[in-house]
């Protein structure tokens, strides 16, 4: 096998490994998101059921006791379900995602022919560098068990120009930009729900204090509890942080591409191309590193 064939074979092998790590990371993230959503819903249900129980125990004792039982079950399940979104689960997810992105970084850099993949031994270098990625995440291997690589061809990257089109611009227009907008919409939803619940609490408070509506005061506490639960969910999911980071990364990559396109980055020689690719991959890696720090330290 010639050098080009060896490099292509190594890239295809690593591309399959990247697919496995990406699927593993997606599965771990889905578990966390489901656990957070379940915890939110259980907390809301506990508040609603508990208050409903207090309102019905006198007139309908059987229903009141049933509602109180269900409220107690919901409260008891919150910490159990929440464990699936705890710090260790988040750390496993972020590390699996980091491994996936590191492998992708190496494959795209290799296909673009940028340093350190300019020599005849590019395939060997790729295997050595990506083996270190796998070794660093060896304890996470059980989460990849049974996962098969998605059938897909290698990216059609053969130089730095195709790298810009198929790696950088796709990241900007097909991922970071849309994801930033999606996170922005989620931030707005949380804020609107918080506003609506605050308004509902004010109305209930007015009904209880100003008009003496029986039972309204008890529901004020429910509305406050639900509002706090929604706010906590938004903070835990870090929607605002993700919006900022996605948008920042997209903007920085756009500036890099624009400077290269106008010739501000240099004369387009090999050294300049190497620096450009390294800078783009560093911008993408910084996002992943920032996420790991943010998700695992709070």
Q: Are 243 and 180 in contact (CB under 8 A)?
A: yes
Q: How does pLDDT run across 66-96, given as a tens digit for each residue? A: 999 999 999 999 999 988 988 899 889 989 9
Q: How does pLDDT run across 130-141, given as a tens digit for each residue? A: 999 999 999 999
**Residue 216's pLDDT band (cuts 50, 70, 90):** confident
pLDDT score of 180 more than 90: yes
**Mean pLDDT for the stretch of residues 278-290:** 84
Q: Are 103 and 133 in contact (CB under 8 A)?
A: yes
- Short-list 158, 162, 171, 164, CA closest to 110: 158
pLDDT score of 295 more than 70: no
Q: Which residue has the higher pLDDT, 229 or 291?
A: 229
pLDDT for res 294: 62
pLDDT for res 127: 96
Which of 30-34, 154-158, 240-244 has the weakest average pLDDT? 240-244
pLDDT for res 58: 83
pLDDT score of 262 more than 70: no
pLDDT score of 49 more than 60: yes
The pair of three-digit structure tokens given for residue 198, joined into one six-digit string: 């605050």
**Mean pLDDT for the stretch of residues 245-271:** 82
The pair of three-digit structure tokens given for residue 77, joined into one six-digit string: 């399940």
| pTM recorded for the entire structure | 0.85
Q: How many CB atoms lie within 10 A of CB 286?
A: 14
Place of tokens 């992708």: 104
Place of tokens 């990216």: 155
- Phi (first) and psi of residue 138, to 5 degrees: -60, -35
pLDDT score of 212 more than 90: no
- What's the length of the chain? 298
pLDDT score of 1 more than 80: no
pLDDT score of 176 more than 80: yes
The pair of three-digit structure tokens given for residue 63, joined into one six-digit string: 């229903």
pLDDT score of 149 more than 70: yes
Q: Give the mean pLDDT of the chain.
A: 88
pLDDT score of 250 more than 60: yes
Q: Are 204 and 219 in contact (CB under 8 A)?
A: yes
């Amino acid at each position: 096998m010639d050098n080009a064939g060896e490099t292509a074979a190594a890239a295809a092998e690593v591309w399959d490994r990247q697919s496995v790590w990406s699927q593993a990371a997606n599965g771990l993230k889905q578990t966390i998101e489901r656990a957070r959503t379940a915890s939110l819903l259980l907390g809301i249900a506990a508040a609603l059921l508990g208050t409903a129980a207090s309102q019905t125990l006198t007139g309908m004792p059987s229903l009141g006791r049933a509602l109180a039982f269900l409220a107690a079950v919901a409260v008891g399940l919150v910490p159990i379900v929440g464990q699936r979104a705890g710090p260790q689960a988040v750390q496993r997810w972020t590390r699996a995602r980091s491994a996936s992105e590191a492998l992708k970084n190496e494959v795209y850099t290799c296909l673009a022919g940028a340093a350190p993949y300019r020599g005849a031994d590019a395939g060997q270098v790729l295997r050595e560098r990506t083996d270190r990625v796998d070794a660093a995440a060896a304890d996470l291997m059980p989460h990849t068990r049974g996962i098969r690589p998605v059938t897909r061809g290698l990216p059609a990257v053969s130089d730095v120009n195709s790298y810009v089109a198929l790696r950088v611009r796709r990241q900007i227009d097909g991922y970071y930009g849309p994801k930033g907008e999606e996170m922005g919409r989620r931030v707005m939803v949380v804020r609107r729900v918080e506003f609506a619940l605050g308004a509902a609490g004010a109305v209930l408070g007015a009904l209880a204090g100003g008009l003496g509506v029986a039972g309204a005061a008890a529901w004020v506490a429910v509305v406050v509890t639900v509002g706090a639960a929604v706010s906590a969910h938004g903070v835990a999911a870090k929607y605002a942080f993700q919006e900022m980071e996605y948008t920042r990364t997209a903007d920085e990559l756009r500036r890099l591409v624009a400077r290269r396109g106008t010739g501000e980055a240099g004369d387009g020689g090999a050294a300049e191309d190497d620096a450009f690719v390294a800078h783009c991959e560093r911008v993408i890696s910084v996002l992943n590193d920032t996420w790991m720090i943010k998700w695992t330290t709070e």
